[in-house]
Each structure stands twice: as C-alpha cells, then as structure tokens.
Amino acid sequence: MRLVFNACLATAWVVLGGFAFAAGDQLDDNALVSRAQSVQAVKDPPVDRVLGLHRGLPVVVDVRCGDVCPQNTVRFIHYIGQTEAACAQTRGDIVSVDVPKGITSGQEKFCVPHILVRQKLYIDRPFQR
C-alpha cells in the first residue's frame, strides 16, 4: 500500500513539477492550512502543484478551467489516489466539486483533508472574486 502512495507521489512530482513547495514536505494541519491560504492568496497564474504530504499522503492543488480560461477556473486541494473507503480511514472528507469540462461542467468526487473542508479552504475560483 505504501509503495502505491509513493508511486503516486513520484508521478505527481514528475507531472506537476516546478512549484514552490517540496512534494516530500510533511505537513501537520496548521502547515496545510497555511499552504492552502497561500495558494488562495494568489489570483494569477493558477497552476497545479503538490503542497506536500499530510498524514503521509500527497496533497495537490488541482486546476481546471474548461473552455473559457481563465474565467471559469476552479482550483481545489485534495489527496491523490484515495478511494472513498480509504478517505474515511485517513480522516478525510469526500466532497463533490463542480469541475469545468469543455463548455459544460460535471460533478467529480475527491478526498479532501478534513481541516480544509472545515475551514472552507479546499476550493477557490480565483477569477470570480
């Protein structure tokens, strides 16, 4: 199981490489909240990035914009590689996010660190503020 998460982290590092935070940083709740706030403080440019490891799991910023960028951009923070059952074990929350897809949008479920759900820091629409 640990090998799978390490593989996901390595893949995320390669795919999402070149960001401000080190992918291997171990984050407690306070550090994760601080990084989420720093992500939301920046309006432009929204980019995918790995925030670090929270409870040993990689946490990423995912950016989607559909056909009208940047106006329809949605940016959300979540664990990667978590099923709904595994999410409950890590004390995460399953949330549905309305994700832009071309000229439409659709709901997708993600496992989000509970602290970010509680503080409403897991989703941001940077160009609709």
How many domains would you assign to the chain? 1
pLDDT digits (tens, 9 = 90+) for 63-73: 888 777 777 88
Per the confidence metrics, is the pTM higher than 0.85?
no
Domain assignment of residue 67, given as a range: 2-128
At 95, is the pLDDT very low, low, confident or very high (cuts 50, 70, 90)? very high
Which CA distances in Å does 50 have to 23, 68, 107, 128?
A: 5, 24, 22, 23
What values do phi and psi take at 92, rounded to 5? Answer: -95, 170
Q: Is the pLDDT of residue 77 over 50?
A: yes
Q: Which residues pair with residue 76 across a beta bridge?
A: 62, 123
pLDDT tens digits, 40-62: 887 766 678 899 999 999 999 99
